[in-house]
Structures are given as C-alpha cells and as structure tokens.
Amino acid sequence: MSIQAQLRDAILKVLPDVECVIGWGPGPDPLRNAPLFMKTPDDVERFEAGPLSVSNLAVFLQEYKGNKVGIVVKGCDSRSVVQMLAEKLINREDVVIIGYPCEGVLDAAKIVTKLGLPQEALEAGMVAKLELEGESVTVTARGKTTELAIKDVTATKCSICRYPNAVLSDEFVGEKREGLEDSYGDVDKFLAMSEEERFRFWEKEMERCIRCYACRNACPLCVCKDHCVATSRDPHWLTQADSPRDKLFFQLIHATHLAGRCTGCGECARACPVNIPVGLFKRFMNRATEKLFSFQGGVDPEATPPLQTFKLEEPTIQERNWK
Amino acid sequence: MSAAKFIAHTDVPAWLAELAASMRVIAPVTEGGNVLYREFDSATNGVELNRKPTESAKHVLFPRSEALFTFRKEPVPFAPDSLDPATEEDSPAPRMTLTQPEAPKPTVVFGMLCCDAGGVTTFDPVYGGRYQDPYYLQKREATVLIAKACNEPLKTCFCTWVGSDPANKRDADILATDFGNGLYLEALTERAERVLGSKLLQDAPANAEAKAEALHAAAREAIGEVPSLEGIDNTLTTLFDERDFWWSHSAPCLACGICTNLCPTCHCFTITDEKASGAGVRLRSWDTCMAALYTLEASGHNPRGQKAARLRNRVGHKFSYFLKNNNGRISCQGCGRCIKSCPSSVDIRRIVLDAMKKGCAVKEAANG
C-alpha cells in the first residue's frame, strides 16, 4: 500500500475524535498542493501526500488551541510541532500527530530552471501537467513533456535534512528513512564574504522586499502574531519607509527572536514572493545555537530553548579558554 | 491620434534609451529570479517581456511609501522677556515649516501587462473621483502607459472572467502586440503622442491589425471557459454572515499581505508621521486588509479580528462593494498574482465560484 493510502487510513481512524485533520490536497496549479482541512471522509478522498506537500501545516495549530485536531507532518514539520509543545504554545492532548517518512519536497523554481529558463522564459504557471512516478517527475509545459529525476529538483533544505521522519508522532506510517548531514555549507559560503560585501548583499536583496510579512506569518514559531514590532504603531519601532534599512531591521529582529527556537523548516524563505533568501539569517543563528549550547530546536518536547533559561555554568561555553 | 507604429525588438533598447533622456522609463526586468518593474538602465537592464512580472506596476503611481510632506519645527529663539507673565501673550509661537514633495517627473511604463493597466483605471475613480488626490493625479497625468498584449496566459490567469481581456484597449495609452520580430504599437489615447515621435518607429506593416487580432483571440482562447459571475455583488452580500463559508475558505490563509501587495487594484493606505527631534516626514504607505492592524480601533476593538473576516473583505471589495460604486465594474483584473504567489495556495477563483454556487442555494432557501 502506498504511503498516501496508509496515511488516508490513519486520517480516517483519527477523524471521529478531532475537529479536523490538517493535511494537503490539490493546489491551484499542478506544481503544488494546498493545505486541506479534512472534516469528513469525503474530504479525505482529496488528501495527497508526497513531493508536492510543501507547506508546513504546523503554522495553523495555534489557531486551534483548545480544540483537538489532527495534523499530517513531514520530518521538518514535526520539529515545529515539537518546538511549539516545548514552549507550551499548544497542548499535547489537543493534537494528534500523523507522521511519515518524507522523501523530500519539490522546488518549483528548480523544475522551471531545468525545463529551460532563462532561454525559454518559462514560468511555473505554464506547467500544464505533472506526474510523479517512483524516483522521477514528468512535467508537461508548452506542449513538451520532460522527465526529471526527483532528486535533482527537490528543495535545497531536503538535501541536508537530518530528520526526514516525524520526530514525534501518535501514528507513523511507512518505513523510517536515514537522515542526512547538514554542515551549514551555505552559511560558511556567505561568511566567506567580507562584512562590507555581506551588508551590500542584504541591502540589495532587501530593496525589493514588499513588506508583506509572509516570512513572519508562514513561520510556525512567530508568536507575537497581531502584535509584531514591525507594524506596531505605539511604540513605533520601525518606520513605514520603503527602505532597506527598516526591512533589514525587521529581519534581524525576526532572526534574533528565533535563535534557539527555529527548526529550519524553511517556510520563511519559501513564502517570500520576491525570493529573498531570508532563511539564511535563521540558519546562521541555528548554527550558532548548536555550537554554543549544543542545542537544536524541535527535537525534544521537554527541552527548554537555551535563550529562555540559563545555567550557571554552560557546559559548552569555556570562558577565557579556562579548562 | 497618430497612426499605428512598429518597432523591431532589436531597436527597443535604443528607443527606451531615447525616452530615458527626458523621462523616467519603467520597464519589467529580471532580478533575483523575479520580474520587477524597475527604472530602465540601458547599461544593465535587459527588458523582460516574455515572463509575467512578479509584482504589479501600481507602485509607479502609488508608491509603496511616499512623502506627503516633510516638517520641521523651528527652534524658538530664547527671549528672557517671554518669561515675564506680563508679556507672555506677545511671545513667539513655535513655527512649523512644511515642505511639499517635488512635482513628479514625466514617466513612461513600458511593457506592463494589460491587467496592470486595468489596475490603474480602477485607481482612477478612487483617487480622481469624488475625492481628488493631487499626489496620485499628478503622477497619473505625467505617466504614459504602454501595455503589452499577453500572448501566453498562465494557469492562474482569469482576466476574461472579470470583464477584462489579455489585450484590452480600455486601460492603457498604447497597446503593444508582439509579432515575434517586434512590437506593433496601437495608440489608444492622446497621451500616446508623447512617446511615439522616435525615428526608430516604423509604420505598421500591412495587415497588422488583423494579425494582432488573431494573436489576441488566441490568448483569449487559452484562458478557457468563462464562468458567469452575473450577480456576484449581491451574492456576496447574501453570504456576508455565512460563517462556515468564510471560515472554510480562509482556513489555509496565513493572513500575510502578499495578495494585497502584489494586487494591481488594492489601493488602501495608512498614514504615519516618522519623526525625530521635531523634524520628520508624513508618509503614506500601503496598508493591507489582511492585517489585524487595518481595522483596529482606538478603543482596542477590532471589527475584523479573525482572518475569515479579513479575507471576506478582500473578496467582498473586489467582487461586490467596488461594483456598487463603479457601474458594476469588478475591480479584480484577473492577473492571478494572489493565487500564484500565495504560499498557502488560496485561490480567489474558487471562493468566487463557490459563492456563486452557495449564493443560489441560500437565496432559494430564503424564498422557501
């Protein structure tokens, strides 16, 4: 039985006990799924899980606090759920977690590039049909059908995924997969630039930010919601000017607030409508937290994030190199 | 109006460079994997006419953030006499100096989509109707819009559903149609004259009109079947209090501002004073009805506290409230950016079609 069929069975089993089960269903174009909120067995018929199930559904859990819901999670999504549990943002008894071994999700931009950008000026919205079969994906655009290897078009985060399986679940279907290594090569590469170059890089990137705050709203661990510093009028922390300075300021606040909490799901960067690599800020912080506190967010629901507590002697921090 | 013209693709950069000598030229260019409307720079920017711009062109006439004026409080000179209560009435009051922004530069937007030009004409009744907005109107008057007929609609395009067209001649000043080797330019308004004087422009080839019409028809055809949205304004009014309808459609919404910020027709703004030490600027910047702050009242009450109520406002404004004040014109232009760029795949077409279906059912139930 396919993973999708097994997941459908698991959802149907959970359905009578919950308000809804959050999963994925068909999206507005062949390249992506949309979140699906299943209340009836008919809804479950529309459920899909696989390389198109990109969005991290944990972002919706806080809206259902106090009502029991089910949620289908990939490995990365499950870490968000775990981190929310660790911070008591949601109650364990309110959520039924259905996990599966994720094989990676597709990156629409990579597919489009493989199909012939920039020479053919193709866009994701021109893809008429997409079929998944084993290790390959067959895409039809402008009347031309191309077969691609899934591994060549998966999201970059999937090629460094340490936790492909749900780290916490009530129901787990399928066979667990081996995790991969993440050596933070992207952060190293970025840090190889001079400080001046890095600043210029962000100045250029932030210039096209439209201040939609999708990076913030797609983040399951952004907790201030309607009371964000970025839009608060009283106090008036950030100006409404269309300047890289204010936009960068918000990104730095966001990344700092996520230090030791971010689970690296990558939704902030995926949500960005103008492709600003905002995930890099958080990746930098995650690496720092791992180095300083030997801590990874979203792995242990009982753990306290390092910046929400203190230890008189931090075991991993050697002051003045004294032994 | 001048006769139709033609320009070879190879001559376009030179033409834009010519125009740039006396005007601000805005054109779609590729940047960081996106297509953005940017100021044309002949040295670096290749114009991108084959991919759809990520953003609309509305910021040219309605900047993301614009200074309405700057202000500066003049220091009051120290006058010992003024401390004497007997002479207090004569003491000078603090003076405030206000400075108006400079008049907008003549501008041309080259290669905008027809749906983006349509966005501009939905702005017109808002900023140039009952209330005349000088900031908008000055820019509007100074700007020539050259729209390019769309030749390859995306999966998310639906302009024909909402009374527009991939090659509509209602909104822009010039309509450009891509003949493969160059652009066929049809002047649609008097304003077009301002940019059609170049020697690089040739007379339109024979049969150009028929050729263009065939291309337009093909694009129209590619969008597919056009469902009826007859009566959508009243239907949405009927559904206003249908909690389950709005709750289920808004469930996947992240309540971010992608849809409204990329939309060619969303025109809401907020005003803030950005000041320090008695000097500053009064900014008008884009607001979004998808944000909680949009309707937050001074009392702390928010009539649109939930995202369902905010999504209802966005859909309601485009497909109902705007129609009632604008002779039945749907403000949505069907560009599909809100669908294409939504990280949660919220699809306004589905909401509207579902409303048409549910609305009929609700009406029938009410009529017994």
Contact B340 A121 (CB under 8 A): no
Is the distance from CB of A71 to CB of A22 less than 8 angstroms? yes
| A238 burial type by CB count under 10 A (0-12 exposed, 13-18 middle, 19+ buried) | buried
Quote the pLDDT of residue B90.
56
What average pLDDT score do residues B264-272 get?
A: 97
- Is 60 exceeded by the pLDDT of residue A1? yes
Place of tokens 């008097």: B190
- Nearest chain A residue to B285 by CA distance is A240
Is the sign of the CA dihedral B41, B341, B143, A243 positive or negative?
negative
Rg of the Cα atoms in chain A? 21
What average pLDDT score do residues B63-75 get?
A: 94
Look at residue B32 and give its three-state secondary structure. Answer: coil
- Is 70 exceeded by the pLDDT of residue B86? no
Whether residue A244 lies within 8 A of chain B, CB to CB, comes out as no
Q: What share of chain A is helix, strand, coil (3-state, %, to 5)?
A: 40, 15, 45
- Is 60 exceeded by the pLDDT of residue B88? no
Whether residue A33 lies within 8 A of chain B, CB to CB, comes out as yes
- Nearest chain A residue to B338 by CA distance is A273
How far CA A270 is from CA of A214, A225, B18, B132, in Å, comes to 9, 19, 39, 40
Quote the pLDDT of residue A17.
97
Q: Which chain A residues contact residue B291 at CB under 8 A?
A: 213, 226, 231
Indicate the residue of A27, A30, A274 with minimum beta-carbon distance to B54: A274
Look at residue A53 and give its three-state secondary structure. Answer: coil
- Is 80 exceeded by the pLDDT of residue B367? no
Quote the pLDDT of residue B39.
94
Is the sign of the CA dihedral B126, B127, B132, B133 positive or negative?
positive
Is the distance from CB of B235 to CB of B323 less than 8 angstroms? no
Rounded to 5°, angle at Cα A187 from A182 and A193: 150
Question: A134: how many CB neighbours lie within 10 A of its CB?
Answer: 6
Is the distance from CB of B14 to CB of B40 less than 8 angstroms? no
Rounded to 5°, angle at Cα A171 from A168 and A175: 85
- Nearest chain A residue to B56 by CA distance is A210
- Is 60 exceeded by the pLDDT of residue B255? yes
Instruction: Look at B26-35, B61-70, B79-88, B246-255 and tell me which has the smallest mean pLDDT.
Output: B79-88
Contact A273 B258 (CB under 8 A): yes
Contact A208 B339 (CB under 8 A): no
pLDDT confidence tier of residue B45, bands split at 50, 70 and 90? low
Whether residue A201 lies within 8 A of chain B, CB to CB, comes out as no
**Residue length, chain B?**
368
- Is 90 exceeded by the pLDDT of residue B279? yes
Rounded to 5°, angle at Cα B232 from B231 and B233: 90
Quote the pLDDT of residue A64.
94
Looking at per-residue pLDDT, the higher value among B368 and A245 belongs to A245
Quote the pLDDT of residue B92.
65
Contact B274 A241 (CB under 8 A): yes
pLDDT confidence tier of residue B360, bands split at 50, 70 and 90? confident
Quote the pLDDT of residue B33.
87
Instruction: Look at A71-75, A111-115, B305-309 and tell me which has the smallest mean pLDDT.
Output: A111-115
Quote the pLDDT of residue A231.
87
- Is 60 exceeded by the pLDDT of residue A223? yes
Q: Which chain B residues contact residue A59 at CB under 8 A?
A: 254
The tens digit of pLDDT for each residue in B226-235 reads 999 999 999 9
Quote the pLDDT of residue B276.
86
- Could you tell me which of B196, B199, B166 has the C-alpha nearest to residue B184? B196
Question: A213: how many CB neighbours lie within 10 A of its CB?
Answer: 26
Beta bridge partners of B95: B74
Look at residue A26 and give its three-state secondary structure. Answer: strand
Quote the pLDDT of residue B82.
58
- Is 60 exceeded by the pLDDT of residue B110? yes
> CA-to-CA distance for A127 and A123, rounded, in angstroms?
7
pLDDT confidence tier of residue A96, bands split at 50, 70 and 90? very high
* H or E stretch at A216: helix A214-217
> CA-to-CA distance for B183 and B110, rounded, in angstroms?
12
* H or E stretch at B276: strand B269-276
Averaged pLDDT of chain B:
93
Contact A218 B51 (CB under 8 A): no
Contact B257 A124 (CB under 8 A): no
What average pLDDT score do residues B46-65 get?
A: 95
Q: Locate the domains of chain A by residue range.
A: 1-107+154-181, 108-152, 183-323
Q: Locate the domains of chain B by residue range.
A: 5-67+102-223, 232-366
Whether residue A226 lies within 8 A of chain B, CB to CB, comes out as yes
Indicate the residue of B50, B285, B343 with minimum beta-carbon distance to A214: B343
Task: Please tell me whether the overall predicted TM-score, pTM, comes out greater than 0.90 for this model.
Answer: yes
Averaged pLDDT of chain A:
93
- Is 80 exceeded by the pLDDT of residue B81? no
The tens digit of pLDDT for each residue in A149-204 reads 999 999 999 999 999 999 999 999 999 999 999 999 999 999 999 999 999 999 99
Per cent of chain A over pLDDT 70 is 98
Quote the pLDDT of residue B43.
80
CA distance B137 to chain A (A): 21
CA distance A157 to chain B (A): 17
- Is 70 exceeded by the pLDDT of residue B80? no
Quote the pLDDT of residue A282.
97
Beta bridge partners of B270: B285
What average pLDDT score do residues A124-142 get?
A: 91
ipTM (interface pTM):
0.94
Is the distance from CB of A124 to CB of A142 less than 8 angstroms? no
DSSP B106-136: PEEEEEEEHHHHHHHHHHHHHHHSSSB-HHH
Structurally, at CATH architecture level, domain A108-152 sits in Roll (3.10)
The tens digit of pLDDT for each residue in B118-150 reads 999 999 999 999 999 999 999 999 999 999 999
Looking at per-residue pLDDT, the higher value among A319 and A226 belongs to A226
CA distance B84 to chain A (A): 38
Contact partners, residue B162, CB within 8 Å, separation at least 6: B229, B330, B332, B333, B334
What phi and psi, each to the nearest 5 degrees, are found at residue A13? -70, -40
Alpha helices in B177-242 (DSSP H): 208-223, 232-238
> CA-to-CA distance for A156 and A158, rounded, in angstroms?
5
What average pLDDT score do residues A75-94 get?
A: 97
The tens digit of pLDDT for each residue in B186-208 reads 999 999 999 999 999 999 999 99
Per cent of chain B over pLDDT 90 is 85
User: b/e string for A139-175 if b means 16 or more Cβ within 10 A?
Assistant: bbbeeeeeebebeebbbebbebbbbbbbbbbebbbbe
Indicate the residue of A55, A125, A212 with minimum beta-carbon distance to B154: A125
Per cent of chain B over pLDDT 70 is 95
Whether residue A121 lies within 8 A of chain B, CB to CB, comes out as yes
Question: B268: how many CB neighbours lie within 10 A of its CB?
Answer: 13
Alpha helices in B31-133 (DSSP H): 114-128
The tens digit of pLDDT for each residue in A251-285 reads 999 999 999 999 999 999 999 999 999 999 999 99
Alpha helices in chain B (DSSP H): 12-20, 114-128, 134-142, 208-223, 232-238, 243-250, 258-262, 307-316, 322-325, 337-340, 348-366
- Could you tell me which of A77, A293, A89 has the C-alpha nearest to residue A167? A77
For residue B309, give both structure tokens.
């109520």
